[in-house]
Every structure is written in C-alpha cells, then in structure tokens.
Amino acid sequence: TFKYLFTPKKIGSIWIKNRILSTGHMTSYVENGLPTDRLIAYHMERAKGGVGLIIMEANAIHPTAYFTAKTICAFNDEIIPYYKKLAESVHPYGTKMFVQLFHPGREVFPSGTSVAVAPSSVPADRFRIIPKELEREEIKDIIKGYADTALRVKTGGLDGVEIVASHGYLPSQFWSPRLNLRKDEYGGQSIENRLRFLKEIVEEVRKKVGTDFVVGLRLSVDDLDDEGAEYGEVQEILKYIDNQIGGLDYFNLTGGSSATYASSTFIVPPAPVPPAHFASHAAKIREQVSVPIFLAGRINDPVIAENVLANGQADMVGMTRALICDPHMPNKALREEFDRIRVCIGCDQACIGHMQMDLPISCLQNPVTGREIQYSKIPKAKKIKKIAIIGGGPAGMKAAVVAAERGHQVTLFEKSDELGGQVKLARKVPGREEFGELVSNLKRELQYYRVDVRLNVEASKELILNLSPDEVIISTGGKPYIPHVKGMDLPHVVTAWDILSRRKEPGKKVVVADWKGDMTGVGVALYLKELGCDVEIVTSCYQVGHSIQEKVRSFVLTQLFLNGVEMTSQYKISEVTEGTVAFSNIYTGQKLQRYGIDTVVIAYGLLQENSLFHQLKEYVSNIHRIGDCLIPRTVEEAILEGFELAANL
Ligand code: SF4
C-alpha cells in the first residue's frame, strides 16, 4: 500500500490528485509549430491512466526560441485554441496540465531555425554554436515573451506555467558566471545581477496571470559541466530566488545540461545511471526553501517514487519515461497490479532518441505510444484464429502478446531454453543489464494473456504442418555475418555472440573486428576487458553526431578508453592467420597488421535466419516474417513489426 503516492497535494492555488507527474518533454508531435491531434491523444491517454499532473513540453516564448524543427511556437495567440483542446482532453480525468515557458538561448539544435542568442557570445560545445550576445532591448522583448505566453496558457484554460531554467537553457545561462560575461545590470559578479533576468521574468509573468495561477521553475541541481552551475552554487541561487525573488509555487529539480555530450546524458539519464540519483540533492534543497519540490531522474517504479516521498526528498515525483512506457502505470499501481506494469528500461531509444532526430517519440517496448489514435484500443479479433509463432525474440514475443490479447489462440515456439533472442546476449554487456528487463516485461505479458510457450522446441516444417495453424509467424531472428576474407575458419576466430553466450572462451590477447559500428563491437570489447583480456578494437567507424544511439556508443567508447582498451578506426579486416590479423584502411587501402593474437572476435552485424520460412512458404498461405529474419534492425523496429502484424490479424 502507498501512504504518500496517491495523496493529493496543493501546489499554489490548485490541488493535484496524486504525486505522480509527467515532466516536460519534447514529443515532435508538432506541425507548423502547433500541437497535433496526436499530441492531444498522447496526453489524454496518460490522463486516463491516472497521472496527477502533466507538464507540457517546451513552448517557445519568442521567435528566437525555436529550439528544434518540432518546437511548439507559443509566441502568438494562434496557440490558444490548442491549449483549450488540451485542457478539454485531460481535465475530465482529474489531471492538471501546466506548460513549459521555454527559451534555449545558445543551445539550439541544428534543425532549430533560431539564431542562437545568449547573455554573452560563449561558444556552445555540443551544437558548435557561437551565439549572438543579447542587446538590452532584446532582453526586454524576451521577458515580455515569457509573460505574454503565460497569459495565453491561462486564457487557454490550462492550470499553470513552468519557467525552464534547467539544462543550461537561457535563464541559467544568465546566472552562470562562466557563460554570462556581461558588464551591465544583467551581468557581473553579483548574484543579484545574474538573477535579474529571472526576477524580471517572474515579475512580468505574475503581472499578467495574477497570484492565483501556478508559476513554477525548473532547474538542474548540478549542470555537471564546467561552464554551468554546480550543486553548491545552485543551492545559493535557489535560496536567493526563494527569499529575494519569490512569486514561484514550486521548484522542479533535475540535473545535467545541454552544453556537452557528457552533461546532456543526465537530461534523460540512461540505464547505467541509478534510479532517483539526484534524490539526496533534492532532499537538502527541500530543507532550505519554502516551496514544494518536484524531482525527476530515472524514477521508473512506483515503489521507488513512494520511497522518495516517504524519505522527504520531494513533494511530487517526475515519472516521465515510466508513463511513456506504460501510461496506465498510476492506475495499475493504485490497484496494486504490479505485475501488469510495463517497466521503463532506461534505453532512451524511442523516446529522447527519436526526439533528437526530430522524429515523433514512441517507446521501444510500447509501440502504442504516439499511435494512440490508431491503437489505444486494440479491437478483439472478429474470428478467433490458431496462430503459431516460431522464434521467441522480442518481435515474436510482442506478436504473441498482442495476438493473444485480441483473443487468438497462440503457440510460441523457442528452440533454446530461454526467451529473449538477441537481447539475452545484449544484456551481458556491462552497463546494459537493465536492457534485459524488456524480456521480463514481455514474459509477464505472455503469462497474463496465457500464451502457450514451448521452450526447447526446434519447430520443424512437419511440426508446424501437423498443427495446421490459420496463421504462421516466422520470427527466427538473425545469425552473425562472417566476412569473406581468408582465415575465418581458423579455430581462434569467433563471433561476438560466441563470446557473450560463453559458447567460446577468449585467449589473453584479443582483437575485436567491428564493422557495423553499433553496440555489439564496443559492448563485447568492454565485456572482454572486464574478463581480464588485453583488448584492441579495430573499427571501420567511430561515432559522429548527437543521436542517442551515438551517445550511448560514445559512452561505451569512453569507458573502453578509460579502461585501457586500444582503439583504431577506419580499418576493416582483410585476413587472419595463426597469430596475426590484418586490416585495410577503408579510405586509402593502407595495411595494418597485428601479431601474437590469441582470439579474433568478429562483430560484423547479422544475416537473416529464414530457412524455416523457405521450407514452409509453399505449404502455408498465411505465413509472415517479422524482425531480424526479414531484415536485421533495431529491437524497436522488430517489436513494432510484431505489434502491427498481430494488431491487424
Ligand atoms: Fe523507457 Fe526505453 Fe521506452 Fe524510452 S524507449 S520510455 S527509455 S523503455
């Protein structure tokens, strides 16, 4: 039972029905700068699922605040009818909605159309931008933008606004002494001057919306980069805001900054970061200020949220990805149906990962997210069918769950003794253990919908034909690709999967030959290093860009570097002999030779494993292929494919 999580809380002038909130996050469900029906359906589904408060994503308060190509533009009255629609979609469920008042300052994505502006022209490393220094008239115009947008939110019938000063965005650029080099009244050494911008925003917003409308502030407890504010400074800043500025109804605490790759990781912290990692910072701040504290940061489980509240570390708990993954998590927790909650695994692939590419967000585990209009209610099957699914990886498991949920009779065959496919191996990589939880989630769903799961069964043509199913789904996955170069048949040449599954043991001196540039090569290299091998990874590519996949890979590359793994890029394997391995440069053809090698590990991606499909296709008319056996891709695409097929059978 929850003592705190489902207790109402008063924030400013309004009551929130429980302590669970969805923090502001970009969805890319935006066309021409305005919210789409998809965005409305997305939030309505979460309201139905029981969340107490939704803080809607970054709304640009000024033409210079165009953060990405998919930013909501709230700097004119065209936005008001959309706010009204959003209010009408969440209020019937007792959910309140606030709006983020947003200006990124110098942190503009390459797809954003703004000219980046900042208190001073200090370059931004992540997006390689040198911003234009704001002139004083421009500062006043931006402050007016915050206030006018706040009034639009109120006119639209929503419940509050949140000034975004977190993650190195504009207000925090003013208070950082490293980013604000101004000599006028908005700069200099004094905290009073560096907080003048925020003070004037709060004053102007209050003038427009009055005292009975909620106004909050979001900020990072530590920017975790050299230029931003660190924890000690943030405490001083917050005390000053609380005592000298006032006018705010809550502080919403998070961490990290957009400024660098490393610090931006903490904006949406991935799985190796422990749950509620800023809770102790928040607790200390909560003791020093007079307003309620909201806290976010990988709080993916209602029990963890309850503990944060019970420990006095926060008054409300941000569970954004938990809600992206399972919008009905609050109601399930309230009903104590813990086994029915699909737990977010912190992979960041389809949520923030999509956003960073200007794609509509979804969830790797839950393809309904972002597709609520089509799929929030998957209809029961008109005719109940007997369905055989061969292959218990994520695609096959998801197809089995959805088909069974619709009422079909489903049998799932898996030739090994465990479900999970490639995920079973991926979770062996240090720091990726939690990725395996997606298999646990799917297993629970298979059980709930009573799918007949048969492990250790190699489904043959005869077995399937004897079963005479109405539909056959082949999800037999992939097998490692072996490059066509000399020496691949030597006993010391193995695949990444051989190593991760422990089918083969490595020698002392190991070279990993990586071609694909995904997580497999770097992951197995880290795994081998932790086993105590001397490891070199020779890869045909390193990461570039700022997508989440590249960031996660670069995170592992950094760990490889810190652990003393040698790295050589832009070479692909050309020959292996006993004790040597040769590579050639992908641009110049120049040769590279390594000697005294005990084991060569090949990480060259996957080939389709579809032999059963070819054996069956002339005997079975309703036969389908999904996942890697069709074409090797990401887990997200495999799950989506399994979902969409089963939803329409
Ligand atoms: Fe969580 Fe991954 Fe889904 Fe994002 S994509 S909500 S991190 S499970």
Domain with CATH 3.40.50.720 in the chain: 386-479+608-647
Residue 547 or 595, more confident? 595
Q: 345 in ligand 1 pocket by Cβ < 6 Å?
A: yes
Q: Pick the range with the lowest mean pLDDT from 109-113, 181-185, 445-449, 508-512.
A: 109-113
Q: Considering only CA atoms, which of 557, 533, 525 is closest in space to residue 544?
A: 557
Place of tokens 């911008």: 197
Beta bridge partners of 475: none
Domain with CATH 3.50.50.60 in the chain: 482-604
Best mutation site among 325, 552, 640 for ligand 1, i.e. most ligand atoms within 8 A of its Cβ?
325
Interatomic CA distance for residues 56 and 162, integer angstroms:
9
Best mutation site among 267, 326, 345 for ligand 1, i.e. most ligand atoms within 8 A of its Cβ?
345
Residue nearest to atom 1 of ligand 1 (CA): 344
**For the chain, what percent of residues have pLDDT higher than 90?**
82
Of ligand 1's listed atoms, the one at least distance from the Cα of 324 is 6
Name the phi and psi angles at 436, rounded to 5.
-65, -15
Q: 346 in ligand 1 pocket by Cβ < 6 Å?
A: yes
pLDDT bracket for residue 613 (50, 70, 90) = very high
| Distance (Å) from CA 326 to ligand 1 centroid | 10
Please state, as a whole number, how many other Cβ atoms lie within 10 Å of the Cβ of residue 378.
15
| Distance (Å) from CA 5 to ligand 1 centroid | 22
How would you classify residue 242: left for phi > 0, otherwise alpha for psi between -120 and 50, otherwise beta?
A: alpha
| Distance (Å) from CA 320 to ligand 1 centroid | 10
Q: Tell whether the model's pLDDT for residue 29 goes beyond 80.
A: yes
Instruction: Give this complex's ipTM.
Output: 1.00
Interatomic CA distance for residues 314 and 297, integer angstroms:
12
Q: What is the DSSP letter of 18?
A: S
Of ligand 1's listed atoms, the one at least distance from the Cα of 364 is 5
| Distance (Å) from CA 346 to ligand 1 centroid | 5
| Distance (Å) from CA 244 to ligand 1 centroid | 40
Of ligand 1's listed atoms, the one at least distance from the Cα of 346 is 7
Q: 320 in ligand 1 pocket by Cβ < 6 Å?
A: no
Residue nearest to atom 8 of ligand 1 (CA): 344
Q: 326 in ligand 1 pocket by Cβ < 6 Å?
A: no
| Distance (Å) from CA 172 to ligand 1 centroid | 28
Q: 264 in ligand 1 pocket by Cβ < 6 Å?
A: no
Q: What angle do CA 87, 362, 298 make, to 5 degrees?
A: 85
Q: 363 in ligand 1 pocket by Cβ < 6 Å?
A: yes
Q: Tell whether the model's pLDDT for residue 494 goes beyond 70.
A: yes
Interatomic CA distance for residues 125 and 117, integer angstroms:
15
Q: Tell whether the model's pLDDT for residue 552 goes beyond 70.
A: no
Q: 322 in ligand 1 pocket by Cβ < 6 Å?
A: no
Q: Tell whether the model's pLDDT for residue 413 goes beyond 90.
A: yes
Interatomic CA distance for residues 439 and 582, integer angstroms:
38
Of ligand 1's listed atoms, the one at least distance from the Cα of 349 is 5
> Rounded to a whole number, what is the distance in angstroms from the first to the last CA of the chain?
40
Mean pLDDT for the chain? 94
pLDDT bracket for residue 547 (50, 70, 90) = low
| Distance (Å) from CA 352 to ligand 1 centroid | 8
Q: 612 in ligand 1 pocket by Cβ < 6 Å?
A: no
Q: 635 in ligand 1 pocket by Cβ < 6 Å?
A: no
The set of catalytic residues is 169
Of ligand 1's listed atoms, the one at least distance from the Cα of 366 is 3
Taking only the tens place, the pLDDT of each residue in 219-240 is 999 988 888 888 999 999 999 9
Taking only the tens place, the pLDDT of each residue in 92-148 is 999 999 999 999 999 998 887 778 999 999 998 888 889 999 999 999 999 999 999
What is the CATH superfamily name and number for domain 9-375?
A: Aldolase class I (3.20.20.70)
Q: Tell whether the model's pLDDT for residue 272 goes beyond 80.
A: no
| Distance (Å) from CA 70 to ligand 1 centroid | 20
| Distance (Å) from CA 436 to ligand 1 centroid | 13
| Prediction pTM value | 0.93
Encoded tokens for 498: 């051989």
Q: 224 in ligand 1 pocket by Cβ < 6 Å?
A: no
Q: Considering only CA atoms, which of 584, 38, 55 is closest in space to residue 362?
A: 38
Residue 520 or 208, more confident? 208
Q: 321 in ligand 1 pocket by Cβ < 6 Å?
A: yes
Span 571-598, average pLDDT: 95
Residue nearest to atom 3 of ligand 1 (CA): 363
| Distance (Å) from CA 196 to ligand 1 centroid | 38
Domain with CATH 3.20.20.70 in the chain: 9-375
| Distance (Å) from CA 298 to ligand 1 centroid | 11
Span 59-84, average pLDDT: 96
> CB–CB of 346/300 below 8 Å?
yes
Q: 350 in ligand 1 pocket by Cβ < 6 Å?
A: yes
Element (H, E) at 510: strand 509-514
Q: Tell whether the model's pLDDT for residue 297 goes beyond 70.
A: yes
* Per-position b or e across 596-631, b if 16+ CB within 10 A of its CB: ebebbbbbbbbebbbebbeebeeebeebbbbbbbbe
Of ligand 1's listed atoms, the one at least distance from the Cα of 321 is 6
Determine the distance from the C-alpha atom of residue 605 to the mean position of all C-alpha atoms in its chain, rounded to a whole number.
Answer: 24
Q: Tell whether the model's pLDDT for residue 548 goes beyond 70.
A: no
Where would I find the H helices in 65-195? Answer: 80-90, 136-155, 170-175, 191-194
> CB–CB of 408/384 below 8 Å?
yes
| Distance (Å) from CA 365 to ligand 1 centroid | 7
Q: 253 in ligand 1 pocket by Cβ < 6 Å?
A: no
- Looking at the domain 386-479+608-647, which fold is it? Rossmann fold (3.40.50)
Best mutation site among 300, 342, 349 for ligand 1, i.e. most ligand atoms within 8 A of its Cβ?
349
Q: 438 in ligand 1 pocket by Cβ < 6 Å?
A: no
Q: 351 in ligand 1 pocket by Cβ < 6 Å?
A: yes
Taking only the tens place, the pLDDT of each residue in 381-410 is 999 999 999 999 999 999 999 999 999 999
Q: 361 in ligand 1 pocket by Cβ < 6 Å?
A: no
Q: Tell whether the model's pLDDT for residue 319 goes beyond 90.
A: yes
pLDDT bracket for residue 273 (50, 70, 90) = confident
The residues, any chain, with a CB within 8 Å of residue 232's CB and separated by 6 or more, are: none
pLDDT for 559: 81
Residue nearest to atom 2 of ligand 1 (CA): 347
Please give, one letter per residue, the 3-state secondary structure of 434-475: HHHHHHHHHHHHHHHCCCEEECCCCCCHHHHHHHCCCEEEEC
Best mutation site among 324, 328, 355 for ligand 1, i.e. most ligand atoms within 8 A of its Cβ?
324
Q: 410 in ligand 1 pocket by Cβ < 6 Å?
A: no
Q: What 3-state class would DSSP assign to 132? A: strand
Q: Is 230 exposed, middle or buried (0-12, 13-18, 19+ CB in 10 A)?
A: middle
Query: Per CATH, the architecture of 482-604 is what?
Result: 3-Layer(bba) Sandwich (3.50)
Q: E strands of 186-329, at which residues?
A: 214-220, 250-254, 293-295, 316-318
